[in-house]
Amino acid sequence: MVYDVRVASLLLLPLLLLSLAGNSVDALYVKVKQNNPKCFIEVIVANQVYMVHYKSPDQEPLPIEAEAQKYHVGLKFEVISNRGKVFEQRLDKEGRVAFTSPNNGEHRLCFNVEGHSLGQDFRVHMELVTALEKEDHSRMVTRETFSSMELKVRRIADDIKRVQTEQVSPDT
């Protein structure tokens, strides 16, 4: 049994290193003003999950009630492909949003001020995390020949990638 653990740990180490390289993180800091959206271009892979962790210290928390949100002054995040808007959401003071796109290629990721800010600037600290697609292990067995130990190691590596993606915080 000790041998199996050592072999598994030796097989797992390269996969862990690959999993760390598999997720990419882009960080950004911008100031957004009324009627002056800040956009940047990111190449997006279709049907891949992207997570945006953000913090806007100049903004009041987003109210829970829909009626109160109409009068809230704060930031809105949009993802726009060459075929149109893919995603939009009003942002709270701090949090994360996840999105996918049905289209490959360049997308504009934009922050703009929603409401009347009376000239106030909104600082935004943002990280874009590229998450990998979840692998279907049952199909993997039929596509490739793996021992049961190799399949377990791949499952663990995929679980590590998923946990890394979920655990990334805007403070890091």
Q: How far apart are CA 64 and CA 4, in angstroms?
A: 52
The CATH class for the domain spanning 24-131 reads mainly beta
Task: Select from 171, 67, 168, 76 the least CA-distant residue to 122.
Answer: 76
Tens-level pLDDT at each residue, the chain (172 residues): 444 444 444 444 443 333 444 455 567 788 888 888 999 899 988 888 888 899 998 888 888 888 887 788 889 999 999 999 999 999 999 999 989 899 999 999 999 988 877 778 888 898 888 765 555 555 554 445 556 667 777 788 887 877 776 665 444 4
Alpha carbons 61 and 43: distance in angstroms, whole number:
31
* Chain CA centroid to CA 7, Å: 33
This prediction has a pTM of: 0.61
Locus of tokens 């590229």:
130
Nearest-angstrom CA–CA distance, 126 and 25: 10
Radius of gyration in angstroms for the set of CA atoms belonging to the chain, rounded to a whole number: 20
Domain spans in the chain, listed from the N-terminal domain onward: 1-22+145-172, 24-131
CA atoms of 117 and 34, how far apart (whole Å): 6
pLDDT at 85: 95
Three-state secondary-structure class, residue 170: coil
For helices 2-22 and 148-167, the axis angle rounded to 10 degrees is: 40
Tokens of residue 123, six digits:
């600082």
